[in-house]
Structure 1
């Protein structure tokens, strides 16, 4: 697996731009699968990108149990500590609550997010300048899900010059 990883020295610079998104949502308890197809845009928050952070806006269509509907979400990617871990990010929900840290300097990262009685465990893998994946495993008393999302840099979005 190590040969497949693509280290990223600055996660905010890497993510900046527009990405095509394909997500599979699998309810493991009920053996039901849904899909999300759309785009994610990482645009500058405040100040020059990416130093001021990025706004993550995802929009598309979610198909679940025979019904398709528009879906969207917003997250904030802020710079991690420059003294301790330069090139990393801290991810927050749109309302400001902490979601998880993100360090892709090895091309791979695992993040946990406890939510009430559920645990969300995310695995982030970077394959190259234009392709990365997240796999979120959600377990709890009422949830048993796996969300696999593939991101491909949009044709009209330029990749960073270096990693």
Structure 2
């Protein structure tokens, strides 16, 4: 069942990446629909393995609150949709794998922005971050060994 969550999340992230590259924005309802699907898969898994559903809901909501605060304070540099995608990735990979995800995200972002600095013609252009988040998600799933709840 967890592999279904990985695959569904990956498909959603690829869809978001295409929208981010093509239109530079993602409609809010599409963001929340994807997050709701991954959240529902998380609850379904917990029902199957008989884990604590209420704790999952409370912790996921608290993490979303922290992510919203980060989005408000960093909105000058990073789009708010990127933070919603990070929350969706958190729902898919779990708390323990978020360290690996964060490291991968920062490393890939650094490479992308270094590449942009070398290409002086596009300096003022905002770069889509969701494809970087998708790549970091793939690295996390590949190296992280699965979800640790």
The alignment's TM-score, normalised by the length of structure 1, stands at 0.27
- In terms of fraction of residues, the more strand-rich structure is 1
Q: Using CA pairs under 8 Å that are at least 6 residues apart, name the structure with larger relative contact order, 1 or 2.
A: 2
Q: TM-score, normalized by length of structure 2?
A: 0.29
Which structure shows the bigger proportion of residues in helix conformation?
A: 2
